[in-house]
Amino acid sequence: MDAKDQIKKTVTENEVVLFMKGTKDMPQCGFSSRVAGVLNFMGIDYADVNVLADADIRQGIKDYSDWPTIPQLYVKGEFVGGCDIITEMTLSGELDQLFESKGVSYNKEAADQIRAANA
C-alpha cells in the first residue's frame, strides 16, 4: 500500500486523526504539541500519526491535503487545518461546533476552560 492509500485508509477509518511530529503522548514540535494538547484536554478520542517515522507519509500528507505544514487535523475524513486554524477554532468555539455537527464527543467544560484561560 502506498502512502496515499495508507493516508486515505487512516482518515476514513478513524473519526479524528492528527498527523503530527511525534505522538500524542510525546509531541516532537511545538505546533504538534499545541494541537495534541487541545485535543487531549478536550478528551477527544483520536488517532495520531507520527510523520517523523515515515518520510513517505510526511510528504504524502502534504500532497493529500494540499497543505504545506504539519500538524494536520482530520475529522470524519475531512481536513480541518493546522495549528493556527485549530487554535483559532478552539478559541472562537468553531471547533466545538464542528465536533457537535460531526457527532464527535468531547468535553465541553474543558473547551470552555481553554477559552476562559485565553480571554
Residue 83 is assigned to a ligand binding site: no
Residue 78 DSSP class:
E
Helix pair 3-13, 55-65: axis angle to 10 deg: 70
Other CB atoms within 10 Å distance of the CB of residue 59: 12
What is the CA 104 to chain-centroid distance, rounded? Answer: 13
Residues flagged as binding site for [2Fe-2S] cluster? 29
Residues flagged as binding site? 29
